[in-house]
Chains A and B, each alone.
Chain A
Amino acid sequence: DIQMTQSPSSLSASVGDRVTITCRASQGISNYLVWYQQKRGKVPKLLIYAASTLQSGVPSRFSGSGSGTDFTLTISSLQPEDVATYYCQKYNSAPLTFGPGTKVDIK
């Protein structure tokens, strides 16, 4: 099965900073990748699908890129409400494995 990794596992940045999270698949998955945001005590929220397509209603400061094995989620200007754990998930074929998550905090 394809394994998903994320880096870093956690980060702390200042409001207004550009934040980049990396997700890597152990084998190529084309662009079959989604990103979720999960705030503490809440259910996850879909941010991006097909690696780079922004889900309706998601702020434009979020963007995704990548294809094959390497993907990134970028927050162009970090806001206090972006404090959360971010997960990638592959969906090219089952199992639909999640990455381990990246916890984002405000410095």
Chain B
Amino acid sequence: EVQLMESGGGLVQPGESLRLSCAASGFTFSSYWMHWVRQAAGKGLVWVSRINSDGSSTSYADSVKGRFTISRDNAKNTLYLQMNSLRAEDTAVYYCARGGVIVPSAINGWGQGTLVTVSS
């Protein structure tokens, strides 16, 4: 069973940094693309970033490009999202998500999410 456990969320002030982690288990982590998706309260899903299986390729939403960095440690089965220069509009639940086997960008496994609140 796919298990994804996010951690690292919390309350920060605008301009500050935060690093999210996602511990994966129940599948061969190093074989899958991974994604971060966020959802503000009562709002829709927003794709944030993705990383390929060996970490050699990454992509970002325009709204976070240059501020967020996705990375992974396949030896530790862990996905990360380093978030710098945080803004109020980054406030959301951040989901760690796993891509599919046939379609790596089709997300078929989700964590329960970690809440990031950016407020002064």
Seen from chain A, the residues whose Cβ lies within 8 Å of a Cβ on chain B are 1, 32, 34, 36, 38, 43-44, 46, 49-50, 55, 85, 87, 89, 91, 94-101
Contact = CB atoms under 8 A, between A and B. Distances in A.
B45 A96 contact: no
* Interface SS of A by simple majority: loop
Contacts, number: 58
A50 B103 contact: yes
B46 interface: yes
Interface of B: 35, 44-47, 50, 59-62, 95, 100, 102-103, 105-108, 110-113
Given A1-B62, A46-B100, A91-B106, A96 B44 contact: no
10 contacts: A34-B105, A34-B106, A43-B95, A44-B45, A49-B106, A50-B103, A89-B45, A91-B103, A95-B61, A101-B44
A43 B110 contact: yes
Q: Which among B46, B95, B102, B108 has the greatest number of chain A C-beta atoms within 10 A?
A: B108
Contacts of B47: 89, 95-98
